A and B are shown apart, each in its own frame.
Chain A
Amino acid sequence: MTFSRRDGSEKVVVDSIHGDIHLREREVRVIDTASFQRLRKLKQLAMAQMVYPTATVTRFAHSIGALGTMIRILDAAERNGVKFEQEQEENLRLAALLHDVGHYPYSHLMEKLDKVVLTEEAVESPTRPVTAIDAGKSKYPEHEEVGALIVTNQDDLIKALGGKGRAKTVADIFTRSQVDPQLSKLIHSGFDIDRCDYLLRDSYATGVPYGQIDINYLLNNLKVSQDKVVGFKDKALAALEHFLLARFFMHRVVYYHKTTFGLEEACRQLLKRLRDRDGENYEVPSDREEVEKIVKSERLNTFTDAFVDNVVQKATTDEDAIIRALASSIQNRRPPVLLKEVPVCEETESRYHAGKMFTQNCVTRLNGLAEESKIPLKQFLLCEPKVDVLKRQQGETYGQMAKLSQEDIRKRAIEEEGEDIKVFKGDEDEPTSLMDIDYSLVVKYAKYSLQLFRLYVVYEGEDKDDVIVRLRDRVKDWDKA
């Protein structure tokens, strides 16, 4: 399959998902930098390979795929008579290529350390003091910001991009700092090149079919208005709805798989404990400034999954028993055991309470359970992964708006910032919001989200099987009052 036209292209990449992708000279120069090659050492699916052995696809492959998707959007724009200036088009292609260049080792796992609440901070105890949120301490920057730092500070990328000015422009596009209203409309439209590629790629890599969206039909039915708003012809509605629901099912089956998520939660707690303790932290960066130093220097090339793997390996012989237990669980693939899961996929608050009741019971009873079972409290992991049935381009969700009326969702919430998935009805030149298509199945399910209230334990004693049976029996009714 030829994915993009030969238009003065320097090289062709043969991609397992999209077929041939023709690269221009500058794109080849960017790809050949050490800063970009680092993406080969970041697994797209973090720890999913602990469950799906072939889930070893990299951010590098995904980034090339994102460029391929952008090329097809630009082709669609041109077919619709919307022409970008050559420099603008080149910058958009480069921004797609570089959109993930700032990912941390194990991606979101490390990026979101500042969100982690440790078990002992969550549960009630007579001796627990009021805990301080240290907002005076800088937080890890989000990966897009890290990407901008890399693109505007790493000499190899600046040179490949043709100078600091160009580097800043490209970074401004993928960090959405760009204040050109025309580009804003294109980039902020609900069509998401990132998701388009990762669903297919993750699905292919894991062997789980739910991400197999009808990409060709979608891209062939892209339409761009004269105002540069991207939408779909209405005949592609079914493919569009499938595209929107695919993310939900991939989360349910792959990203939130109980074993994968348990291992990732153990790793989050391990890194957080190491980062914030006094003493040896195995070079886990302490704050934003430390991250900035790494990504602006030659150390960037070592800031890969292997960085975390090394931390985990060293931590298996740490003097702290909790650190050792968490690290060994990951290192030896002895995943945390799921004691109970309360899945909630409802919009009503009564059902929402079932999950919250479980959390509340964990908060009040977990200390007692830890003492009774003689397993340290810190080896219990409490978490609440959540996925909305629908999610928009950059993370705002429909499901979060569950408390609004349907009318509110249509009239105000979805139009939050003027971006939405758009559909061109019939021969109309101006698109309408997907949310205004009342026969759309996904619109009707827009209010729903799935939240998985989970309690894990990290335990490796010889009596493990018996202990787990006893613990499961003790917590089996914790979702009830």
Chain B
Amino acid sequence: MDRQQIGVKLTIDALKLSFQIDGFMDRLIMQKAVYLAQAAGVNLGYYYHWYLHGPYSPSLTRDEFAVAMDISAGMDESKGWKLDDKSSQRLEEMRGLFAGAEADRDELAKKLELLASVHFLIDRKQASKADASRITATLRLFDKPFSEKDVMNALGELTRYDLLPA
């Protein structure tokens, strides 16, 4: 594992998520969780593009598989490493975003896809925070079933967790 891969493993552990990549939804959860962690100031160094399911980092996919292969070979090289205190604290603070939904992986994936997509559109200046209807319309272009109310709720949650300015 390289430094960046170790950082991902420690971040997923700190969010109390399982390092699962077997199914598409598992990988989607991982992608969006790392995206939101970075938005919270945990700098893991992944650059996200816009794909059909919102923000997506190909480099992260590559690293997820590398880490999973190492773990399955019984070699978790993240042992002996830790995250810096500030990042650990930030991840602790945002764990509420994932709370309760872990049991239903599909539901969690859907929620994280919405949160990350809304954040991306605002952060990359494709949309304004004040314009929930435009964000909803953009998501509909990609056949996403999110309503304007869902988008408003996502905006509220992102603001509450300090991922967007109030």
Which chain A residues have a beta carbon within 8 Å of chain B's beta carbons? 114-117, 128, 130-142, 144-145, 168, 172, 175-181, 184, 188, 288, 349, 352-353, 356, 359-360, 386, 394-397, 400-404, 408, 412-413, 415-419
Contacts and interface: CB of A to CB of B under 8 A. Distances in A.
Nearest to A403: B72
A349 B75 CA distance: 12
B52 A184 contact: yes
Given A136-B87, A349-B73, A403-B72, A395 B59 contact: yes
B104 interface: no
B52 to A, nearest CB: 4
Q: Using C-beta atoms within 8 Å of the partner chain, give the interface range for chain B.
A: 35 or more
B142 A181 contact: yes
Interface string B57-75: 0110110011011101101
A403 B68 contact: yes
A133 B61 contact: no
B101 interface: no
Nearest to A137: B43
A349 B70 CA distance: 10
A352 B73 contact: yes
19 contacts: A115-B4, A117-B2, A131-B82, A132-B82, A133-B84, A135-B44, A136-B41, A136-B87, A142-B47, A175-B47, A176-B49, A177-B50, A177-B124, A179-B121, A356-B73, A356-B75, A403-B69, A417-B52, A417-B53
Given A114-B3, A188-B51, A403-B68, A179 B138 contact: yes
Nearest to A116: B3
Interface in B77-114: 80-84, 86-87
B87 A135 contact: yes
Contacts of B24: 412-413, 415-416
Interface string B126-166: 10000000000010011000000000000000000000000
Contact of B83 (A135, A181, A412): A135
Given A130-B80, A177-B124, A404-B22, A117 B69 contact: no
Contact of B81 (A130, A349, A396): A130
Contacts, number: 144
Interface of B: 1-7, 10-11, 22-24, 27, 41-45, 47, 49-53, 56, 58-59, 61-62, 65-66, 68-70, 72-73, 75, 80-84, 86-87, 121, 124-126, 138, 141-142
Given A115-B4, A401-B65, A412-B23, A138 B47 contact: no
A397 B65 contact: yes
Contacts of B70: 356
Contacts of B27: 416
B18 to A, nearest CB: 15
Nearest to A272: B3
A135 B43 CA distance: 5
B47 A145 contact: yes
Contacts of A417: 51-53, 56
Given A134-B84, A144-B47, A179-B50, A395 B61 contact: yes
A400 B44 contact: no
B87 to A, nearest CB: 4
A139 B43 contact: yes
A394 B61 CA distance: 10
User: Residue among B3, B61, B121 with the most chain A CB within 10 A?
Assistant: B3
A397 B84 contact: no
B3 A135 contact: no
Given A132-B83, A134-B87, A135-B87, 18 more contacts: A114-B4, A116-B2, A117-B6, A131-B82, A133-B6, A135-B42, A136-B41, A139-B4, A144-B47, A177-B126, A178-B50, A288-B43, A356-B70, A356-B75, A400-B66, A403-B69, A408-B22, A419-B52
A117 B23 CA distance: 30
Contacts of A184: 50-52
A116 B7 CA distance: 12
Contact of A418 (B52, B68, B125): B52
A413 B61 CA distance: 11
B14 to A, nearest CB: 10
Given A139-B45, A400-B65, A404-B22, A133 B10 contact: yes
A285 to B, nearest CB: 14
Given A176-B49, A179-B138, A133 B59 contact: no
A43 B142 CA distance: 39
A148 to B, nearest CB: 9
B86 A136 contact: yes
A115 B47 contact: no
A175 B125 CA distance: 14
